[in-house]
Structure 1
């Protein structure tokens, strides 16, 4: 098992700073965030993130991405793309970029739920069956294009989308070539929506389990009540060892399912300074993986 960091969670660092700092801390790889984002006076996870590569002109950035990653002796755990499955032009570009970099796999976003307000958007109101059928058609095309480029397109389990659970993602991809489409299982997102007991969920994904993201979340009771007088709860991101998801239990499920590949961290908690947060996360992940019986890559002993 190898550990990497998704640069959505390192907004204060430039690409050079992110790569060099993570390498010095002992991380095995990096997962670059690739998207056009809004400007911000202060760096943030979703706007003004300094460790993000823009989609605009991405092809011209590929040599610099390769140089920065290679000089830090980091591997690509994949690319953190934001191209949506119905934008075939951007999907084609991000698949080609993944192949050119040798990054193997890239996230391609599925359609949001008709009730979703993610990204500040208005709900579309489109019924789930229609969204599901449309996404399946897009992913049939994506599977063919990923095969053409020799890479894998990844569906993330994410709240507010048609694939919040492992069951939904397996149904979406079933019958497509698992060499070229797969699923990102994500502990933190599942705390918010789509929770299924990890081991059977991982077993259900079978050959489509391609990648793992680890973050954590918790539900917090609010001071207000709804119109009926009932309690109101809201979710927030939490440090890995402080959220409602047990990373130890999750790693034990990964071990039981035979998963032995990348685990990418995207910690959106802010209790600790960024460098302290990433270093502490790596130490925690290594110790927890050892407790779970997972074999952790050790750069010092690698040939």
Structure 2
């Protein structure tokens, strides 16, 4: 098993700083965030994130992405793309960039639910069956283009989307070539929507289980009840060791299904400063993986600017 960091969660670092710092801490790889984002006066996870590569001109950025990544001695766990499956031009670009980098796999987003306001968008009002069928149609095209480039397009289990659960993702991808489409199982997202007991969910995904994202979340009670006097609960991100999901139990489920590939961390908690947070997360994850009986990679990395191994 190898560990990487998704740079959505490292907004204060430039790409060079992120690669250098993560390599020095002992991470195996990096998952670059790729999106045209809004500016912000202070770097944040979703706007003004310094460790983000713009979607516009992405193919022109490939040599610089490769230079920074290989110069730090890091591997790619994949690319953290935001191209939506119905935007075929953007999908084509991220698939081509993934192939050019040798990054193997890239997230290609499914359609949001009809009542979703995620990302500040206006709800479409479309029904779930309509959105599901449309996503399936687009993903059939995505699978063909991923095969053309020799890479894999990944669906992330995500609240507010047509694939919030393992069951819905398996149904969406059924019959498509698992060499070129797969699923990102995400512990933290599933605590918000789509929770299914990890072991049977991972077993259900079978050959479509392609990648793992780990973060944690918790539900907190607000101070005000709703109109009928009932308690109101909202979700928030939490440090890996303090959320409602057991990372140890999650890793035990991964061990039970024989998963031995990348685990990418995207910790959106802010209780601890960034450098301390990422370093602590690696220590925590290695310990949990070892206790779960997983094979933990302990490779050494070269520093940025030196000659990478191999």
TM-score when scaled to structure 1?
A: 0.99
Q: Which residue of 2 aligns with 1:227?
A: 227
Runs of 4+ in 1 over 3 A off after TM superposition: 300-303
Q: Which residue of 1 aligns with 2:53?
A: 53
* Consecutive unaligned residues in structure 2, runs of 5 or more: 302-308
Query: Residues 158 and 189 of structure 2 are in contact (CA less than 8 Å); yes or no, is this contact kept in structure 1?
Result: yes
Instruction: Say whether 1:202 aligns with 2:220.
Output: no
Q: Which residue of 1 aligns with 2:177?
A: 177
Q: Which residue of 2 aligns with 1:277?
A: 277
Q: How far 1:300 sits from its partner (Å)?
A: 4.5
Choose 181-190 or 291-300, whichever is displaced more.
Answer: 291-300
Instruction: Say whether 1:26 aligns with 2:20.
Output: no
Q: 2: CA distance between counterparts of 1:35 and 1:298?
A: 31
Pair 1:271–1:224, CA change in 2 (3 A): same
Q: Which residue of 2 aligns with 1:99?
A: 99
Q: How does 1:212-251 map to 2 (within 5 A)?
A: 212-251=212-251
Q: How does 1:1-303 map to 2 (within 5 A)?
A: 1-300=1-300
Task: Tell me the C-alpha RMSD between the 2 structures.
Answer: 1.1
* Consecutive unaligned residues in structure 1, runs of 5 or more: none
Query: Residues 26 and 300 of structure 2 are in contact (CA less than 8 Å); yes or no, is this contact kept in structure 1?
Result: no
Q: How far 1:122 sits from its partner (Å)?
A: 1.6
Q: Determine which structure has greater relative contact order: mean sequence separation of CA pairs < 8 Å that are 6+ residues apart, divided by chain length.
A: 2
Matched position secondary structure for 1:240 = coil
Matched position secondary structure for 2:222 = strand
Q: 1: CA distance between counterparts of 2:34 and 2:166?
A: 25
Choose 114-123 or 91-100, whichever is displaced more.
Answer: 114-123
